[in-house]
Amino acid sequence: MAEKKERIVQIKSEEEPHGEGVLHITHYKKSERIKRAAAVLGLCWLGAAGSIPIVIAHWVLVPGFLIAGPVFGYIRLNQATVKEHISGRCPVNDKDIKIDMEPSEELPKWTYCPACNKAIQLIE
Ligand SMILES: [Zn+2]
């Protein structure tokens, strides 16, 4: 099974004292990475097959999906850890917030608070 881990991160804003948040990470074992890679490959090739009947656009979509399948599959295969999201409190207005992370995103990073739209920095 995929292993879920949590790491403490700091949520900073320019004016207020910083708050703490929790970064949720999922670790995938090799067998799970292969399954995830096969799933994205299958999905892309299904997209290629599905776009064959679309007139004109299929000249772009079919080769696009055929190439995207192995590319995204390879990326997934090498993705041992995936950063899911950060949950914590906004340092500006003290509301509970949840910030979704892209799997490839690294900390520290600047983003906007989903509750008050102020700039906040996430630091490990
Ligand atoms: Zn906020």
Q: How many CB atoms lie within 10 A of CB 106?
A: 9
CA of 42 to the centre of ligand 1 (A): 40
Could you tell me where the DSSP H helices lie in 15-103? 30-50, 58-77
CA of 112 to the centre of ligand 1 (A): 8
pLDDT on residue 35: 96
CA of 59 to the centre of ligand 1 (A): 46
Please give the average per-residue pLDDT across 46-58, as a whole number: 95
CA of 18 to the centre of ligand 1 (A): 12
Q: How confident is the model at residue 106 (pLDDT cuts 50, 70, 90)?
A: confident
CA of 117 to the centre of ligand 1 (A): 6
How is the chain split among helix, strand and coil, in percent rounded to 5? 35, 35, 30
pLDDT on residue 48: 97
Burial status of residue 2 (CB atoms within 10 A of its CB: 0-12, 13-18, 19 or more): exposed
Structure tokens at 45: 């090739």
Segment 64-85, tens digit of pLDDT: 999 999 999 999 999 999 999 9
Please give the average per-residue pLDDT across 77-99, as a whole number: 91
- Longest CA span, the chain: 57
pLDDT on residue 25: 93
